[in-house]
Amino acid sequence: MPSSPPVPDNAIRGPVLTFTGDPFASSVEETMRYESDAIVAFGDGVITHFGPAEQIQSQLPETVNVRNFGADALITAGFLDSHVHFPQTPMIAAFGEQLLDWLNRYTFPTERKYADKAFAASVAKVFLNECLKNGITTSCVYCTVFPQSVDALFQEAERLGMRMAAGKVLMNRNAPHDLLDTTQSGYDDSKALINKWHNRGRLMYAITPRFAPTSTADQLDSAGALWDEFPDCYMQTHVSENMDEVAWVKELFPDRKGYLDVYDHSKLCRPRAVFGHGIHLTEDELCCMHHTGSAISHCPTSNFFLGSGYLDVYRAKDPRRPVRVGIGTDLGAGTSFSILATLNEAYKAAQLNGKALTAGHAFYVATRGTAHAMYIDDKVGSIAPGMEADLVVLNMKSTPLIDYRMQFADSIHEALFVQMTLGDDRAIQATYIAGKLQYQQASI
């Protein structure tokens, strides 16, 4: 017999923003839904009701407590981060290198510490707490070569009830000896982690070759074979972030047509593949990503910080061959856990490519768009009955300057743009994970 629908046991009220489709494919006007006074009710971890408050209030059982956040709030689906390195949290804001030197000088020495499970667990707590403080309810996370770093992250994510994807880095060359695995050990460790964690509650496994230069062709082929065994997993890696990196890949794989073809040859371009950066992809490579259902994670704060370049998001989303695009903080080359701050930088990247990123497009990418890139837009990323109740509540007047500026905002579009330009973690009032309040800003 079909199970009965969940009964609401909690609800929140205030202005609500969500998306019903992709504004890059049609328009913001057709896809953005804004309710100035709405109720979102939830029970058993899923949304049961959503609509104008005057309609929904009468539909709820009298026992349901409705928390009213008021007219200065904004309720949205929880933010998603499609590319982040939790082990790099201790080295965020490390000075002065471009990608390849930065890896050798800062990243690899830091990642050695994750052989210690207790250290990994301590960072996982800080990392996920910062995610919650910034309204991030789902992330696609790189761990380290050490399996215990994956265990540490998933254990904490499971405790919090978060929908989280993560995986052990595969890396068998061009890195310090004590950070290398082998093709066989990388396969074996990853398979054991998949069997332990994948689809356990809300957890999802991501097969994770760091990037082509640190894996042999044999290891990339092994990752593709493992994915064949577990086709509903993710695969995450990096592509075309930096021009020196692109040239290095050509030297290492001279028989391949280009950087993306290295991955495609190993059957790593397909749905649920998330490629970090993709700044310098060619038109042929973007066509390949479109046809294979692969996704780009746009990481603007990292790209500017390392001087890598700036993704042309409108080119990637060209309606003639649209590529799925999500947003990524890419800590620790990324400089902020804040999705609002990341959208600020995404706006600048679009400006440098000659086209402004509207606030509607930006908030879509931060929610439903990244869920679409990760193939979970049937579960998270928008507000509707049946969706998982991952929600964030913004304070639209979180600082004195924003409070002042909002006096002159005459539309929701302008108000959203103020938030993504001036806002940060102080704007996050509350974060709900599967309907449970997991973060609330302390009262001053």
Of residues 152, 162, 151, the one with CA closest to residue 78: 162
378 within domain boundaries: no
**Selected residue with higher pLDDT from 96 and 345:** 345
pLDDT digits (tens, 9 = 90+) for 373-404: 999 999 999 999 999 999 999 999 999 999 99
pLDDT digits (tens, 9 = 90+) for 338-374: 999 999 999 999 999 999 999 999 999 999 999 999 9
Are residues 208 and 158 part of one domain? Answer: yes
β 10-19/32-43 pair status: antiparallel
What's the pLDDT score for residue 3?
A: 66
130 vs 152: CA distance, rounded Å: 16
- pLDDT exceeds cutoff 70 at 423: yes
Does residue 423 contact residue 410 with C-beta atoms inside 8 Å? no
pLDDT digits (tens, 9 = 90+) for 26-36: 999 999 999 99
Are residues 219 and 208 part of one domain? Answer: yes
200 vs 188: CA distance, rounded Å: 19
392 within domain boundaries: yes
Are residues 115 and 27 part of one domain? Answer: no
What's the pLDDT score for residue 443?
A: 67
Residue 108: HSE in the Cβ half-sphere, 13 Å Cα cutoff: 18
pLDDT digits (tens, 9 = 90+) for 109-119: 999 999 999 99
Are residues 73 and 85 part of one domain? Answer: no
Quote the number of domains for the chain.
2
End residue of a domain, out of 352, 373, 394: 373
Are residues 218 and 341 part of one domain? Answer: yes
In whole numbers, what is the pLDDT of the chain averaged over residues? 97
Helical (H) or strand (E) element with 351: helix 339-352
Rounded average pLDDT over 60-76: 97
Of residues 239, 250, 299, the one with CA closest to residue 273: 239
CATH number, domain with residue 277 = 3.20.20.140
Rounded average pLDDT over 207-233: 98
Are residues 189 and 51 part of one domain? Answer: no
Are residues 83 and 68 part of one domain? Answer: no
What's the pLDDT score for residue 444?
A: 46
Rounded average pLDDT over 49-55: 98
Domain of residue 334: give its range. Answer: 79-373
What's the pLDDT score for residue 5?
A: 77
User: Side chain identity at 323, as an amino acid letter?
Assistant: V
What's the pLDDT score for residue 102?
A: 86
Rounded average pLDDT over 255-281: 98
Are residues 240 and 171 part of one domain? Answer: yes
With a pLDDT cut of 70, the percent of the chain lying above it is: 99
279 vs 309: CA distance, rounded Å: 7
pLDDT digits (tens, 9 = 90+) for 134-154: 999 999 999 999 999 999 999
